[in-house]
Amino acid sequence: MTRISNAGGGALPQNSCLVITLLLVPVLVLAAEDQQPKKTMPIQATVSVTWDVEGGGTRNEGSMTMRMRGTAHLAEEVSVMDPAAPPGTMITYGAEGVKVDYTYKKKETQEKPPQNCPAVMAEYEGTGVFTLEEVTSAMTSGLNIRKVGSLIPKEMLQFVPAEAKGMMIDYYDFFAVAKKQEAQGRRRGWNDCNFVDDTREFNPMGLTIRFQITDEGKMTGSRTWSVQQDSGHPAFTIRISDLPQNMERRS
């Protein structure tokens, strides 16, 4: 298990956002002796985000936790089933329909509220279940297994150029996208003490994980880190990768 956090430590400056995200990807073992790809793959992941933003006389703080659990199904029509290639070299699994439980909380406070007004300007809460899906043809949920390193026998790697050799690795992509969700709450105006019922839309997930597959064939891991944001509500778009940089530039 690997953990990555902000190296600086200490308090973040004003007008910043502390976002701590923990990702847990399932332990999946891809056995080398498998002659045919598995028809299904278990999918489990947890994403937890907290934020605290100060700027423009307000403070925006909140949290969201998502727990994903389900099964991805082999997409034979888009998987490479070349008999000349090793089994399971280019395999795609569709994750549409995988269920995600979530909890969402958000509160906005005013630094200097009007006289006799509460500091709270808005607050929202929401819990529920949504499913991963295909939002557009270019945005879909799924798991891609790319056993590029298995295409060339180890004894032949000496003839591969150094730059190309760095990309001859086995890795996987996991994408999770979903449509907007709603949280119910209340809001008041900047100079108004009276609250009105309100509904806030938010995009719960845009997750990309690109990791190398270990020599044991495992796909698992976690990451924790913090980032700074000038103002506003954080975007729940997360991308993490441990692939070589030259592979990132090509993708």
Kindly state the average pLDDT of the residues 27-54. 73
Kindly state the average pLDDT of the residues 69-75. 89
For position 28, what pLDDT does the model report?
52
Cβ atoms of 96 and 134 closer than 8 Å: yes
CA–CA separation, 41 and 74 (whole Å)? 8
Kindly state the average pLDDT of the residues 13-20. 47
Going by pLDDT thresholds of 50, 70 and 90, the confidence category of residue 80 is low
Cβ atoms of 97 and 131 closer than 8 Å: yes
**What residues form DSSP beta bridges with 172?**
145, 211
Please, what sign has the CA dihedral across residues 199, 61, 47, 79? positive
% of the chain residues with pLDDT over 90? 24
For position 133, what pLDDT does the model report?
84
